[in-house]
Amino acid sequence: MQNKRAIFGAKGLPYLLLAPQLIITAIFFLWPAGQAIWQSFLREDAFGIKTTFVALENYSRLFADPSYLNALKVTVVFALSTAALSMGVALVLALAVDRTLRSARIYSTLLIWPYAVAPAVAGVLWWFMFNPTIGILPYLLKGVGYGWNHALDRGDAMTLVVISAAWKQISYNFLFFVAGLQAIPASLREAAAIDGAGPVRRFWTITLPLLSPTTFFLLVVTIVYTMFDTFGVIDAITEGGPAQSTNILVYKVYQDGFVGLNLGSSAAQSVVLMGIVIVLTVIQFRFVERRVNY
Amino acid sequence: MATLTLESLGKTYDSGASAVSGINIDVADGEFLVLVGPSGCGKSTLLRMIAGLETVTHGSIRIGPREVNRLEPADRDIAMVFQNYALYPHMSVRENLSYGLRNRRMARAEITRRVEEAARILEIGDFLERKPRALSGGQRQRVAMGRAIVREPSVFLFDEPLSNLDAKLRVTMRGEIRNLQKRLGTTSVYVTHDQLEAMTLADRLVVLRAGKVEQIGTPLEVYQRPASTFVAEFIGSPAMNLLDGVMEHGRLAIGTATMRLPDAHCGPVRVGVRAEDLRAVPGGTQGALPVRLSYVEELGSQRLGHFDCAGARLIAAFPSGQGLSEEMALMADPEALHLFGADGMRLT
Ligand SMILES: Nc1ncnc2c1ncn2[C@@H]1O[C@H](COP(=O)(O)OP(=O)(O)OP(=O)(O)O)[C@@H](O)[C@H]1O
Ligand SMILES: [Mg+2]
C-alpha cells in the first residue's frame, strides 16, 4: 500500500486533480455558509439601507419567538411521522419481497420509481388526489363520513404533507431494507423456527435486532431528508399553512428571508439548521462505525 | 427418545430437479445414523426435510409413532446443529441457549438449570455472558451443540457441524459428539461428506448417491462388503483399488495373472482389492500381478506404494520398514477380493 503513493511524482498534481471538487465546495458551500454565519450577526433596518452588528441578538430573539418554537415543534412532528411512515411501509414491503425473492424483480423496480420523482412534483400529485373539491380521496372519505380539507384543518394538512414526503422516501428505505434482510443468513431464521419462534416472534427477536444498523442509518437519513429536502412538498401543498401548522424550519427560513426579507433572522435560522445537520451526521458516523446493537 | 422412520421419502424441487427419492430408513431409538456421500448427493436436503425446513413431496417421515410431514419445525421435537452454527449474533451465549426454552414458556428455574447443566457438560460455563463473535470456532461449535441439548429433543440433526474446524479440533470434537450422544442416548442423524468422520461416528452408515440410498450398514459391514464400486471407492482411505478382469469357469484373469475363485459368474468383472490386503510376493508366483512402482508415500506407521499395473493405478500398504523395488509382484488372498459386475453392483 505504502509504495502506491509514489504514483504521483509531482507534489502539486493531487491538488490539481482535487481542485474542481474543492472549488465547487468552496463556492457553493463554504462561502454561502460563511455569509450566512456573518449575516446572522447583523440586522438591517426596515428599508434595507442601514446594517448594524447585533452579535447574538438574532438568535436570542429567535428562541424567544413563539412562531419559531412552533416551527421547531412542527418539524419534529413532521420528521418523526414521515420517518415512521416511510420506514414502516418500506419494511413491510421489503419483508414481502424477501420471502419471494425470485419473482420480485418487477415488483422491486416499480417500488423504486417514486424515488425518481422530484419532491415538488410528488407534492402536486398528492395535492391533486387530496384536493377538497376535485380530488378522489376526499370524495371517498366523504363516503365514510369524513370531511377532508387540508386547507382549513391542521391535522389534515400535516397528514397530507407527511404522506407526500414519506411516499417518495419509501423507495429509498425499501432498497436498504431489502439489502439488510438479504444479509441475514437464512439459517438464523431456520434455527429460530426450530427453536419454537413463530413468524411474528422471529421478526421481533431475530430479524429486527439484526436489522438495527440499517434501521438506524435510515432513520438519520430520513430525518435529514424531511428537514431539508421537503421544501418542495410543503411549498406545493400547503405553503406552511393553515395557521403555520405545516411551517417546518426550512420553509420558515425561506418565508422569513425571501418573502419577509428579514435576512438576519433567516440567516440565524439557517445556521441553526446547519448545526442540526452537523450533529446528525456526527451521530451517524459514530454509530455506524460502532454498529448498533451487536 | 424416539425412533425415526423414513418411508419412500422423496423431494422434487420447484425447478423440477429431483434431489432425493425412494428413501427407506428405520433409525432405532438412540441410534447414531450418519448420512454420507459426495457433494450434491442430497444429504442436506434429506436432513432438512426431517427438520421441516424443506417440504416433503413424496412419502412420509415418522418420529416415534407420529407422522410429522406437515408439522412445523418447532412441533417436531428435533434440534439441529448447522454447518455455520447459526448462533444469534445479537444474543449472549446464555440467551442463545435459552432462546428455544423461553419460546416454549418454560419456567425460569428450569431454564437456568438446563443451561447450567449444558454449560457444564460442554465446558462453556466461562463465557455464558459473551456474544458469539467473541468466541473461537471450537467454542461456537460447543455453543451450537449446547443449544441443541438444552432442548432435550427426541432427535438431534447435524449438518456437517465440524467442517469449519481445523483438522485437529475436528478429531477432538468428533470424539466429544460421539460420547455426548452415547451419554444422552438421543437418536441422531448426522450428515457429512467426510468418510472418516462417518466411519468413526456411526452406529450405522447410509451412503447416498445422486439422491438414492446406495448402501446401509454398520461401518464395518460397509467397509468389508461394499455394495457397489461407488461405495468401495468412497469408503476407506486410501480408496479401494479397482481393476478390470474376466471370470471364466471358476478362474479369474486380471491381465496375465490368473487365480482360482469359487464363483460361478462368467464374463467381464471389476475386481476390488484394499491396499492393506495386497502383499509383495516373488515374481512369477501363481496369481500375482506384475507391477511397476511409481512413487512411495511415507505415512510414518506404514508406507503406501503407488504402482502401475498394465495401465491401471494400484495402491498397496506395507509396514514402514519394508523395502520396495522398481519391478515387483503383488498378490491378495481370494477371500480379500471384491467382485463387481459391469453395472458396478457387487456380485457375491
Ligand atoms: N432450493 C433448491 N432448489 C433446487 N435444487 C436444489 C435446491 N437445494 C438443493 N438443490 C439441489 O439438490 C441436490 C442436493 O442438494 P444438497 O444440498 O442436499 O446436497 P448435499 O449432499 O448436502 O451437498 P453438500 O455436501 O455439498 O452440502 C443438488 O443437486 C442441489 O443442486
Ligand atoms: Mg449439504
Which residues of B have a CB under 8 Å from any CB of A? 51-53, 72-74, 78-80, 82, 84, 86, 88-90, 99-100, 103-104, 131, 133, 147, 151
Cα-Cα end-to-end distance for chain B: 38
With CA atoms as reference, report the closest residue to A127 among A78, A165, A176: A165
- Answer yes or no: do B167 and B314 share one domain: no
- Answer yes or no: do B171 and B30 share one domain: yes
- Answer yes or no: do B260 and B205 share one domain: no
- Give the 3-state secondary structure of residue B16: coil
Residues A194, B103: C-beta atoms closer than 8 Å: no
CB of B39 within 6 A of ligand 1: the answer is yes
Q: How far is the CA of B45 from the centre of ligand 1 (A)?
A: 6
Q: DSSP string spanning B30-67?
A: T-EEEEE-STTSSHHHHHHHHHTSS---EEEEEETTEE
Q: What is the pLDDT of residues B6-39, one digit of tens each?
A: 999 999 998 888 999 999 999 999 999 999 999 9
Q: How many residues does chain B have?
A: 348
Give the CATH number for residue B188: 3.40.50.300
CB of B186 within 6 A of ligand 1: the answer is no
Query: CA-to-CA distance for B112 and B121, rounded, in angstroms?
Result: 14
Q: Cα angle vertex B14, ends B13, B16, to 5°? A: 70
Q: What is the pLDDT of residues A83-103, one digit of tens each?
A: 999 999 999 988 888 776 555
Q: How far is the CA of A80 from the centre of ligand 1 (A)?
A: 46
DSSP state for residue B241 in the 8-state scheme: E
Q: Which fold has domain A65-287?
A: MetI-like fold (1.10.3720)
Residues A191, B78: C-beta atoms closer than 8 Å: no
How many alpha carbons fall within 13 Å on the CB side of residue A175? 11
CB of B84 within 6 A of ligand 1: the answer is no
- Answer yes or no: do B266 and B202 share one domain: no
**For A206, which of B72, B79, B88 is closest by C-beta distance?**
B88
Residues in Cβ contact with B88 at an 8 Å cutoff, skipping those fewer than 6 apart: A188, A191, A192, A206, B95, B96, B99, B132
State the ipTM, two decimals: 0.85
Residues B88, A201: C-beta atoms closer than 8 Å: no
Give the CATH number for residue B257: 2.40.50.140
Give the pLDDT score at A233: 82
Regions of chain B where pLDDT drops below 70: 1
- Answer yes or no: do B60 and B186 share one domain: yes
Dihedral pair phi/psi, residue B5, rounded to 5°: -125, 125
- How far is B5 from chain A, CA to nearest CA, in Å? 20
CB of B236 within 6 A of ligand 1: the answer is no
User: Is pLDDT of A47 > 70?
Assistant: no
Mutate to test the pocket of ligand 1, among B15, B43, B197 (most ligand atoms within 8 A of CB): B43
With CA atoms as reference, report the closest residue to A188 among B91, B156, B114, B104: B91
Residue B347 falls inside a structural domain: no
Sign of the torsion angle spanned by Cα atoms A212, A213, A219, A222: negative
Residue B264 falls inside a structural domain: yes
Give the pLDDT score at A291: 57
**At which of B195, B226, B257 does a domain end?**
B226
Least confident of A68-82, A241-255, B173-187, B247-261: A241-255
Cβ pair A200, A191 in contact under 8 A:
no
- Give the 3-state secondary structure of residue A205: helix
Residue B219 falls inside a structural domain: yes
Least confident of A158-172, A252-266, B121-135, B143-157: A252-266
Q: How far is the CA of B33 from the centre of ligand 1 (A)?
A: 20
> Where exactly are the structural domains of chain A?
65-287
The residue to which cell 424477501 is assigned: A98
Residues B90, A210: C-beta atoms closer than 8 Å: yes
> How many structural domains compose chain B?
2
Expressed as residue numbers, the domain containing B307 is 238-340
- Answer yes or no: do B44 and B171 share one domain: yes
Q: How many residues does chain A have?
A: 294
- Arithmetic mean of pLDDT over chain A: 82
Q: pTM of the entire structure? A: 0.81
pLDDT bracket for residue A1 (50, 70, 90): very low
Residue B297 falls inside a structural domain: yes
Residues A190, B90: C-beta atoms closer than 8 Å: no
pLDDT bracket for residue A2 (50, 70, 90): very low
pLDDT bracket for residue A270 (50, 70, 90): confident
Query: CA-to-CA distance for B19 and B41, rounded, in angstroms?
Result: 7
**Where do the H-state alpha helices sit in chain B?**
43-51, 93-103, 108-122, 137-149, 167-184, 195-201, 219-224, 229-234
Q: Cα angle vertex B268, ends B267, B269, to 5°? A: 115
